[in-house]
Amino acid sequence: MCKELDVLLPQRKVKPKHPRRLAKRTKVTGSNQLWQMDLKYGYIASIDRFFFIISIIDVYDRCIVGYHIGLHALALDALRTLRQAMIGRLEIDNNRTEHSIKSFVIARKNFLFCVAPYGAKASAIRFSLIESAKENGLKPFEYLKHLLEELPNTRSQDLDKFMPWSEHIPEHCRTPKRR
């Protein structure tokens, strides 16, 4: 209303002392990859006090993961709210981990026959590649086939394109997403 009545003075221009740097634009493909902290305040007229709300929002799900409501908004409150949100999003059990190492446990007796350290190292690399491919939603056989066909013709600067979480992995290596 004050703006409509032209009562307000023009807002001063603030010149920053150092240039602002923007964060890298990354694609958010799942929950728990990017969170946003929001701070709001309001006024309680009956007790003549301000109140504060700190919300932590998951950008992918667009849901509030944790919040704090109080008469102050200190850094300690924000930290406590962030911890509460992180603990709330952790998985309670370790079934995924146990399932991913099952193949390693089954093959453990075969490692007795790795005569040289090079054989043991090769087995460890193979298991690491296969389990990383599974965790990133890739078909292990197709992914390894793609690596063995493409890596010999690649420069060392382009190795990031072959990581299991890379967007450059072809679609035929990916497992179809379940609904």
Lowest mean pLDDT among 3-7, 78-82, 148-152: 3-7
Q: Residue 140: which pLDDT band, with cuts at 50, 70 and 90?
A: very high
Say whether both 128 and 161 belong to one domain.
Answer: yes
**Which pLDDT does position 22 carry in this prediction?**
58
**Which pLDDT does position 106 carry in this prediction?**
75
Contact between 41 and 18 under an 8 Å Cβ cutoff? The reply is no
Distance CA 147, CA 139 (A): 12
Question: In the predicted model, what is the mean pLDDT of the chain?
Answer: 82
Exposed / middle / buried, residue 54 (Cβ in 10 Å: 0-12, 13-18, 19+): buried
132: containing domain: 97-173
Whether residue 18 is contained in a domain is answered as: no
Structural domains counted in the chain? 2
Q: Assess whether pLDDT exceeds 60 at residue 172.
A: yes
The CA distances from residue 59 to 22, 54, 84, 109, in Å, are 17, 15, 17, 45
**Which pLDDT does position 173 carry in this prediction?**
92
Domain boundary among the residues 71, 89, 107 is at 89
> Angle between the 140-150 and 117-135 helix axes, to the nearest 10 degrees?
120
The per-residue pLDDT for range 79-108, each reduced to its tens digit, is 998 888 888 776 666 777 777 777 777 777
Strand bridging mode 35-44 / 63-70: unpaired
Say whether both 49 and 69 belong to one domain.
Answer: yes
Whether residue 9 is contained in a domain is answered as: no
The per-residue pLDDT for range 10-60, each reduced to its tens digit, is 777 877 777 666 566 667 777 777 888 899 998 888 888 889 999 988 888
**Which pLDDT does position 102 carry in this prediction?**
77
Say whether both 165 and 108 belong to one domain.
Answer: yes
Element (H or E) spanning 83, and its range?
helix 75-89
Whether the model clears a pTM of 0.95, i.e. scores above it, the answer is no
Say whether both 169 and 102 belong to one domain.
Answer: yes
Whether residue 161 is contained in a domain is answered as: yes
Domain boundary among the residues 43, 60, 89 is at 89
